[in-house]
Amino acid sequence: MSDTIDLLIKLIPLFPLMAVVANGVFGHRYSHELAHRLAWGSVGLSFLCTLVVFADVLRTGASHEVVVYRWIFGGELTINFAYLVDSLTCAWLLVVTGVGFLIHVYSVGYMHGEEGFTRFFTYMNLFMVSMLLLVMGNNYLVLFIGWEGVGLCSYLLIGYYYDKVSAAKAASKAFVVNRIGDAGFLLAIFLVFVNFRTLDYTKVFAQVGQLSPEMATAIALCLLVGAVGKSAQLPLHTWLPDAMEGPTPVSALIHAATMVTAGVYMIVRNHVIFDLSPFAMAVVAVVGGGTALFAATIGLVQTDIKRVLAYSTVSQLGYMFLGCGIGAYTASVFHVMTHAFFKALLFLSAGSVIHALSGEQDIQKMGGLSKRIPWTHRLFLIGTIAIAGLPPLAGFWSKDEIMAHAFNTHHYLLYSLAAAGALMTSFYMFRLTYLTFYGSSRMDHHTEEHVHESPMVMIAPLMVLAFLSGVGGLVLGFPPEQGWLHGFLAPVVGTGVEHEATGGMTILLMGVAIVIALMGWGLAHFLYAVSPVTADGWVEKFSGLYRLLLNKYYIDEVYDLLVVEPLKRLGMILDWFDRTIIDGVVRGVGHLADWGASGSTWVEKYIVYAGLNVIGYGNHLAAREGRKMQSGMVHHYAAIIVAGLFLLALVVQLVVQM
Amino acid sequence: MLEELTAVFPILSCILFLPVVGAIVLWFVDDEDTVRSSTLTIALVELALSVFVLLRFVPESAAMQFAERVQWIPALGISYHLAVDGISVLFVGLTAFLTVLVVVYSWDTIRHQVKLYMMCLLALETTTMGVFLSLDLILFFVFWELMLIPSYFMIKLWGGGAERHYAALKFVIYTLLGSVFMLVGIALLDINYHQWASLHHSDHAYSFDLLELLTVPIPIGQQILIFWLMFLGFAFKAPVFPFHTWLPDALLEGPIGMAVVLAGLKLGTFGFIRFSIPLLPDASKSDTVVMVVVVLGLCAILYGAWMALVQSDFRRLLAYSSVSHLGFVVVGLFALNYQGLQGSLLTMINLGFSTAGLFFIAGFLYSRQQTTQLAAFGGMARQVPLLATFFLIIGLASIGLPGTNGFVGEFLILLGAFEAKWWVGSVAVLGVIFGAAYFLWYYERSMLGPLGSAVKSTMSDLQLREMVIAVSLSIMILWIGLYPSPFLRIMNGSVQALVDRLHQEKTAALDNSVTEGR
């Protein structure tokens, strides 16, 4: 049985890899039909394998470690290419392969007729491979392959429409910003190796007790830098909204459901190290809480449907970090899972809207779509209610658990950040819904004529996601703090921080959360359904603030001004320095040598050559052929060098004899 | 003294002289196509011989293998001594591999004086092989110098730039200048051996043989002097910052084939790991030396990357990225621990695939636009998707993406450097970020975005020969990236021996000073 499970574990990333090779190398030889079947089929097979492995882990509670081969080794370092599948990995595997499968199916419809159809699926499958390695690796370096691999796929897919300048720029930006985080992650890996002489999780975590608090803080903070880059937290969040240049299924899969949660995975995986450092934990919590609120404020005023969702993703990831920072690891994982359901649902329905409107993404040019595309409307609404945090949908349970945990462990400031963020989330999501689906149409005539509901291949996956967004919270995490997921993850993350919350308090906090969500909805209803004039009035009144938010606090501009431009300028100065100073010195020396050379030329001409000519005359005759080809000098050089060497030998000999 | 496994058949001599003999035979061939195909045959046979050596090489062993030794100038202790160990054997394979690719590349890109070009190329292969195979320092030096002759002519006669004469001269003078210092260093090593031998009544009065020189202790003052002399020789060649200004000129002005060899085969840093570190372990370990060399390495990493960021010519960009990569190699070598040395060695090999590969890409671009200036490119991915794809694969290898060969080497270097001195590793990591920035920015501006106005609409994608080059490089890149085991196993024995020597030598040197004190 165990052997079968090990084999299945090996197969999970192998299926999509085979599809990558097939579609990547031979994809242009066969039809799009076969290409997409290979693509979603392979992910489907991975999902089936995952289910079996999951059932086994669920039944036995054991974790599986599978070594594939020895990867990097030498001296005392051995790094295996190996997998570790425990309950934490299972949770991610289910999301990655399950949601991934649905998004692949959806993409068949969404990408239909696009140029580079096969290329799209090749990249998507490569992403699946990387993401699977990321969560399945049994050591930091296999995680790192996945870590940079998903970054690469993100780069490739953001730049999918590569002849668009904005897409190309967004792609490079995403990769470089991610690499800043990766550099931090690398430092963490080095620190781990220096301290533990191994990079395997099980061995590292077993000896974690010998770590000094300072070292634990150092490792945890370096890991955090990596997590912040990948999960688009402050201050490295700028790449994610730009990443919306990619096709919408990409935004759903990579930039909402899976890749961006890698930072959370990494922190939860390393929670024993974080637990040792209260300071690092505090930093994680503050980064998370700050980002949750910060990104929500930007989301309030954005007008691009995908950008609103992007900032909402950044904000939701902030909640997950906040949860990690206060030790509510299970709640964070819970939120990762529910978020994967409803954010994938929202993005894909947004994709369906965009599809219906022939590519229009500006919500100012939408409105009144609820009757034209009823299915999309219903599905989007379910997603909105789920993310806004109204029971019994999924988002309520997971977000509430994080917030309640913050309150119960007396992190009142963090709780209020999260609560303010929740209010804004509810508001901007309903604002989005109202502006898109209700009111009167603001579409231009041409677009309006072509509005159509998406095909079944796109709607069906959405229904599954809507179902999951509906019941996922109850199934995974009810009752709060004692749900199924808590029991399942307990072997890996422990039972979490104890706190003395009474049942009454729990219910009270839930009530507050519901009120907050309803207030957001109410405000959105008032501003965008009842009295749109008021909304415009507020924009007038607070135009400074409005513009600040609309321009995302000018952070991109500030980074350009403070980092990118100075770097380029300094590069220019260095270039001048290189050409003028360093090379100038060289040329100066060269000129000095010129004078010496004219002296030695005389010697060469009248003494060395004279001697050599005697020897070389015969040679000269033979080389007449060669001289025609302008290379008559070759043997001169050779002769001089050989003569020089003999001269040298002679001198050494003389010195020795003396 | 290191163990030596003597060869039954002088295969290394065959490898060494096959190309030059081939070059002489070519002299008598007139037809250009015959010249091409016979050069290719010679290069392929050479590759086959090298692969044979690699296959028969005993891995995880520190022994010098396939050794051949014949007295050359006995009075001076100079011998013809060839052998390979874990440090050098991969370079032999790499040289043969790259030469084949250069021949394939030059097939239709070199149009005048084909015969002479191919002869130069083969001569260059022999001299390069000589550098990697020689265990006698004089023999090594001879090949080191002889290499300049074909290089000089290749840059001067087949270079595409207007400044090629200047570049060729600069290259030669630079290297010659460095080797003068190196030669003095070699002489000092010999004199030290002589003194020691006389003192201990040994029968060999003189020796330039690496294995024999390794057996005698060298006083620390001597070591440091010799170290710096040899350092100059190798640093000029490598080139290590700030001795690098010949490189952009030579790479830009010279032909692509020459650039591949110059940038792909890291002879200078090979010199460090072959001679400087094992022969002068105490000097290599001394604080001042480590500090100076490592700081130069760090400067090179950042300076090179920074310079690469602002270059508009792809070949200049590659030259500076080479400077940056060599900085990594130097930092790894002078971490003086297992991971650092192993990583540097692997990286030197890796650069033979990635940097050299990017020069081939530069060549493909040059064939299409007659320049490598950014202004001539833009949005080319639409017209030449295959070229763009391989450009990306090889480029990602050069910036060390996991899964490619570049990562394995770079990771080991950084790990070693971090272990030796945490701040060195931390600064070097910045190079990882800059690497991504300069490569992706250039890629974005040349391949992505709307089609550039200067891009010819008739441009064709990769041809068969170009595909052969790109695919074989990509295979090597992924192989070493995903399954480096065979390569690491070949290196391990020799790297371990080197590490042991570095750590033992302290006690040995102490013993020595005690004896002298008595």
**Contact (Cβ atoms closer than 8 angstroms) between residue A462 and residue A345:** yes
How many Cβ atoms are within 10 Å of A60's Cβ, its own excluded?
A: 12
Cβ atoms of A492 and A87 closer than 8 Å: yes
CB contact under 8 A, B116 and A631: yes
Residue B180: Cβ within 10 Å count:
14
Q: Quick one: which of B336, B240, B233, B232 has its CA closest to B281?
A: B336
As averages over each run of 10 residues, the pLDDT of chain B (518 residues) reads 72 91 89 90 94 91 89 85 91 94 90 88 93 92 90 86 82 83 88 84 77 86 88 87 84 88 89 91 89 92 88 89 93 92 94 93 89 83 88 92 92 92 90 88 86 80 90 94 92 91 62 40
Q: Does B356 contact chain A (CB < 8 Å)? A: no
Q: Which residue has the tokens 């100059």?
A: B232
Residues of B in contact with A155 (CB under 8 A): 440
Partner-chain contact A574 B403, CB within 8 Å: no
CA distances from A471 to A50, A181, A382, A468, A572 (A): 21, 35, 11, 5, 58
Tell me whether residue B414 is in a domain.
Answer: yes
Closest CA to A267 of A183, A197, A331, A190: A331
Nearest to A162 among B157, B422, B448 (CB): B448
Cβ separation B310–A571 shorter than 8 A: yes
> Domain containing B399: what range?
289-483
User: Looking at residue A590, what is its pLDDT?
Assistant: 64
Q: Which of B173, B412, B433 to mutate to test the interface with A (most CBs of A within 10 A)?
A: B433
Distance CA A71, CA B412 (A): 12
Q: Are A434 and A513 in contact (CB under 8 A)?
A: no
pLDDT of residue A593: 59
In 3D, which of B301, B172, B246 has the Cα closest to residue A582? B246
Question: Residues of A with CB below 8 A from B190's CB?
Answer: 652
Interchain pair B418, A71: CB under 8 A: no
**Closest-CA residue of chain A to B482:** A71
Interface test with A, best of B346, B401, B495 (most A CBs within 10 A): B401
Q: Does B382 reach chain A within 8 Å, measured CB to CB? A: yes
Give how far Cα A637 sits from Cα of A317, A633, A640, A648, B168, Å: 69, 6, 5, 16, 14
Is residue B27 domain-resident? no
Inside any domain, residue B396: yes
Residue B512 has what pLDDT? Answer: 45
Residue B322 within any structural domain of the chain: yes
Looking at residue A357, the DSSP 8-state letter turns out to be T
CB contact under 8 A, B449 and A163: yes
Residues of B in contact with A176 (CB under 8 A): 433, 436-437, 440
- A593 touches B: beta carbon within 8 Å: yes
Contact A211, A310 (CB under 8 A): no
What does chain A come to in residues? 658
Distance from CA of B350 to the nearest CA of A (A): 15
Q: Considering the domain boundaries, does residue B159 fall inside one? A: no
Residue B385 resides in a domain: yes
CB-based contact, B300 to chain A, within 8 Å: no
With an 8 Å Cβ cutoff, is B73 touching chain A? yes
CA distance A272 to chain B (A): 23
Nearest to A653 among B75, B440, B450 (CB): B75
Ranges of residues in chain A whose predicted pLDDT is under 70: 1, 495-501, 589-658
In this predicted structure, what is the pLDDT of residue A125?
A: 92
Q: What is residue A604's predicted lDDT score, i.e. its pLDDT? A: 58
Interface membership of B403 toward A (CB under 8 Å):
yes
| Any domain includes B26 | no
Of B310, B419, B488, Cβ closest to residue A73: B488
| Sign of the alpha-carbon dihedral angle for A651, A652, A655, A657 | negative
Angle value at C-alpha B450, between B444 and B454, nearest 5 degrees: 95
Q: Report the residue of chain B nearest A156, measured CA to CA.
A: B392
Q: Is B419 on the interface with A (CB under 8 A)?
A: yes
- For residue B424, is it within any domain? yes
Tell me the backbone φ, ψ of residue B134, rounded to 5 degrees: -70, 135
* A68 at B interface, C-beta within 8 A: no
Q: What is the DSSP letter of A80?
A: E
The total of structural domains in chain B comes to 1
